[in-house]
Structure 1
Amino acid sequence: MMNRLTLLLASACLLLPVSGAAQETLDELLQQVEQAASEEARIDQQRLQEFRSERNRQQQLLEEARAELRAQQQRSDRLNTEFDNNERELADLETTLAERQGNLGELFGVVRQVAGDFASTLDDSMTSAQYPGRSQFLSDLAQRDRLPRVEELREMWTAIVREIAASGKTVEFTADVTNADGDLETGRSVARLGVFNAVSDGNFLRWDSVRDRLVELPRQPASRYQAMAEDFQNAAPGTVEEMAVDFTRGTILQSVVQSPTYRERLRQGGPVGLVIVALGVLGLLFALWKGVMLFIRGNAIKRQVKRDSADKGNALGRVLAVYEENPDADVETLELKLDEAILRETAPLESGLPFIKVLYVVAPLIGLLGTVVGMIQTFQQITLFGTGDPRMMAGGISMALITTVLGLVVAIPLTLIHSVLQSRSRQLVQILEEQAAGIIARTAEERHGHSV
């Protein structure tokens, strides 16, 4: 409003020189100035009244806030006093409860411990595949901070008895099974043998307590155990004659399927093991061929013994043919010719036996070589990685042991086979010598009789 009044005064000053004789204009200006001053005074008075009213209202709010503060402080003091009283009363009640519980407190501790232990047992039990979700009640009971009711104690006892009864039964049911490829198969027929084994489609299963699901073993035990599992699942109740039972609830079965196969053990032997196996196969094949040859020649010699005429198709026949071709030779000459014929026949009978002997001598030496190579690898692993992880040294140790075993496995049967074949060849040579000695004896006797 002051700006307006200032503007009017400035206008009047500008109009005076132009129209100084016009009294009416000055009166109008005066009237406007007075009206402006009056309006300004009225507005100022109104503002003053509003300010005073607002001040009074703020003062009232302040008084109300102070009153509320005093009320809240009084309430806080009252609540603190009540809290302290409740704390003392609670402590008294807890003391009274502990005194009145007596043996019930000890019983409560035992119940919680038994419930927790049995819940873990149920989680790991094979029967949980047939009755899932049984351990939740026991887990809640083990974590409870108040005394259990009689109904809860009875329910826990019933669960224990039910598990004992289920552990002695063989039942068949349907369940979800994770196969060896990791795929979930729903509604699969499962046969359970107590809490020890579970089989499905002739394959052994294990209970995975983390996923609450039966899982097919990625590697199954030997075929005879799988045949037992298939017979057990297909048999009528109470008619199973034989079934493998893992009383450790999966520990032995896991160890069995994790043990390496013969092919894996052979692979652990490395190149040295393969060389030993190749020598063993070569030696066995050669020994088999040699045995067949000695058997055939031996039968031919036995047939020749029963004949009167010499057949050059066998060793004894060729020796006898020397006598028939030299009927007039003297005893010394005949003896020399027969010895020469026997020597010619002895070489084929004994040929190849030194080769078998070389194989059964070389095989353990190569095995010893593999042992040394494996130990070198082991010490290299120890040098690089230390002895913190024994699995780092398993490769070298396996190679050392497997090659030693392979060398002995090849050498022992080859030694026995060589002994048998050598004995057989000596028997055949002895027959040739006996027949030659008989011929010489008869010839000498005949010559001596004629001379007399």
Structure 2
Amino acid sequence: MNVFSFTPRPRWMAVALASCLLSTPLLAQNSDVGSLSEARQAAEARDQARLEELLDDRQALEAALDQARAANAEAEERQEALQAMQEEQAQLAAELASRQGEQGEELTGLLATLKRHGDEVRNELGEQSWLTLQDEGLPRLGNVDVLERAQLERVVDALATLTARTGRAERLRLPVADAQGNIEEREVIRLGDFAAFTESSLLRTGAEGNAVSELPRTPAEIRATLGDYFNGESRQFAIDPSQGSVLAALAQQPSLWERFQQGGYVGYVVVVLGVIGLLVALAQYLYLWVVSARVKRQRRSLDTLKDDNPLGRVLHRFQDMDKHQTPEALEARLDEAVLAELPRIERGQPMVKLLAAIAPLLGLLGTVTGMIVTFQAITVFGTGDPQLMAGGISQALVTTVLGLVTAVPLLFAQTALASRSRYLTQVIEGEASATLADHLEAQSNARAGAAI
């Protein structure tokens, strides 16, 4: 059992020790203290009262002493720990300096070479390389001062891994963003550093290496091979050796509908007029084909005239004429009957011919309009950005193409209609002239017989 002993000391020594243990007095600013002197006297009175309490209470005094000794011991332990840490850091610095001196100029040059070539490889691969899609690629040696074996092994292993990936096709599970921005984890095939694709679309990397999204448009020539290669049914695939430049150009190539939309309102008008002209030509050509068939049947049976064809109607009118007229009068009446059938035979041809002539003019109008838009863009933005002029130039060229494409089939249709109607007219006129000649010959023979 430990017995606590207390040795009496002179009163002035106890007062001095208690004064050292007291905390700094707080000067309370009371409303009753009117001056600094009164505040000091009040603080001294409080300190004196507390000192008397400590002198009277031996246990509180001993507790304060124990607390001070514990704080002192803790401070000494902290100081010893800091000194030990300082000695350890100095020893480590000396060891690093010694190792750096031992490795010599060759290892120092090797470290510098690894840093330089590592940075070059990372810059060449870039952040959008397929090889570093799931890891960081080459380790960075920028903060390394002393080359260690483990660091050299990591660099060599990373280079070997990247080299092996360049000639290998791998299946990965990655989050892929579609054209609408929806992200879903999908199975992806990576072909070295050339391409990555899903079953139906090529992929591209974003600004961050792990961001993968579908191309806005996969070229149709490549889309046809994606599914077969993805499912293992084919070993053929199109590779872009330019690292995506050709694919980007093909993806930006507009489709037929997009080219048509580049023509603007003038292009719409040209196409609508062309469609109207072709419909009119088709309807008239079908009518002429039906009429030709009926005329052919009528020519085989001239004794039975029908009114469903122009030849039958012309010959029927000739039969109803007064045959006692002069030959000139009969011929004029017969020509009149033939001319009455021409409007229906030649119907639609003037309109088709007019549209065939108007289409190139409208295309020229679109060309002029597009060039005006181009010159306005040049005036406002200058010639530094060709994309600003591409819209006007596209409109100018597309409308010209639409005008020519519309005019060419209309010209063919108008030529077909003209040839078919000309053939029918010649058949009708020939049969009518033959009928008139037979009538005049029969009439002449009758007169000659009567004279005999």
2:213 to 212, 215, 220: 215
Counterpart check, 1:361 vs 2:357: yes
Offset of 1:122 from its aligned partner? 7.4
Higher relative helix content:
1
Counterpart pick for 1:310 among 305, 310, 315: 305
Tell me which amino acid in the other structure corresponds to 2:402: L
Is 1:286 aligned to residue 280 of structure 2? yes
Q: How far apart, CA to CA, are the structure 1 residues paired with 2:217 and 2:247?
A: 9
Partner of residue 429 from structure 2, selected from 411, 428, 433? 433
C-alpha change, 1:444 and 1:242, in structure 2 (3 Å) is farther
Deviations, residues 8-58 of structure 1 (Å, cap 9, x unaligned): xxxxxxxxxxxxxxxxxxxxxxxxxxxxxxxxxxxxxxxxxxxxxxxxxxx
> 1:182 matched to which residue of 2?
181
The counterpart of 1:399, out of the listed 395, 401, 407, is: 395
Measured after TM superposition, the shift of residue 339 of structure 1 is: 1.6
| Greater mean alpha carbon deviation, residues 391-400 or residues 309-318 | 391-400
- TM-score for both structures, normalised by structure 2: 0.65
Whether the 8 Å contact between 1:375 and 1:397 is mirrored in structure 2 is yes
- TM value normalised by structure 1: 0.65
Q: 5 Å matches for 1:266-415?
A: 266-308=260-302, 309-326=304-321, 328=323, 331-415=327-411
Equivalent-residue separation in structure 2 for 1:143 and 1:340 (angstroms): 107
Q: What's the CA shift for 1:204?
A: 2.5
Distance 1:175 1:443, change over 3 A: same
User: 1:312 Cα shift?
Assistant: 0.7
1:220-235 to 2 correspondence within 5 Å?
220-221=217-218, 225-233=222-230, 235=231
Aligned-partner Cα distance in 1 for 2:321–2:436: 12
Partner of 1:121: 125
Deviation at 1:314, TM superposition (A): 0.9
Q: Could you say what the CA RMSD is over the residues aligned between the two structures, in angstroms? A: 3.6
Q: C-alpha separation between the residues in 1 aligned to 2:131 and 2:175?
A: 14
Preserved CA contact (<8 Å) 1:310 1:321: yes
Determine if contact 2:305/2:312 at 8 Å carries over to the other structure.
Answer: yes
Query: Residues 196 and 164 from structure 1, CA distance in 2 versus in 1: closer, same or farther, beyond 3 angstroms?
Result: closer
Change (3 A) 1:269 1:165: closer
Please report how far the alpha carbon of residue 109 of structure 1 lies from its aligned counterpart in structure 2 after TM superposition: 7.2
**Other-structure match for 2:161:** 159
Paired residue secondary structure (2:384): coil
- For each residue in 1:396-423, what CA deviation from the matched residue of structure 2 results, as whole angstroms up to 9, or x when unmatched? 3233222222222221221122112211
C-alpha distance after superposition, 1:283-302 (max 9, x if no partner): 22222222222222222222
Task: Tell me how far apart the structure 1 counterparts of residues 160 and 329 of structure 2 sit (CA, whole Å).
Answer: 105
1:51-109: CA deviation from partner (whole Å, max 9, x where unpaired): xxxxxxxxxxxxxxxxxxxxxxxxxxxxxxxxxxx9xx99xx79x955x68xx95x877
Cα–Cα, structure 1 residues 210 and 311, in superposed 2: closer, same or farther, change >3 Å? Answer: same
- CA distance in structure 2 between the aligned counterparts of 1:142 and 1:437, rounded to whole angstroms: 106
**Higher Rg:** 1
Q: Distance in 1 between matches of 2:346 and 2:411?
A: 16
- Report the secondary structure of 2:203's partner residue: strand
Which residue matches 1:76? none
Tell me if the contact between 1:179 and 1:216 (Cα under 8 Å) persists in the aligned partners: yes
Give the unaligned 5+ runs of structure 1. Answer: 1-85
Aligned twin of 1:253: 247
CA distance in 1, matches of 2:390, 2:163: 46
1:126 is paired with a residue of what secondary structure? Answer: coil
- CA displacement at 1:176 relative to structure 2: 1.6
Give the alignment of 1:233-248 within 5 angstroms: 233=230, 235=231, 237=232, 239-240=233-234, 243-248=237-242
Question: 1:215 offset after TM fit, Å?
Answer: 0.7
Question: Would the alpha carbon gap of residues 424 and 194 (structure 1) be closer, same or farther in structure 2, given more than 3 Å must change?
Answer: farther
Conserved in 2, the CA contact under 8 Å of 1:203 and 1:230?
A: no
Alpha carbons 1:297, 1:314 under 8 Å: kept: yes
Count of residue pairs the alignment pairs up: 347
* Secondary structure of the structure 1 residue equivalent to 2:400: helix
Tell me the residue number matched to 1:200: 198
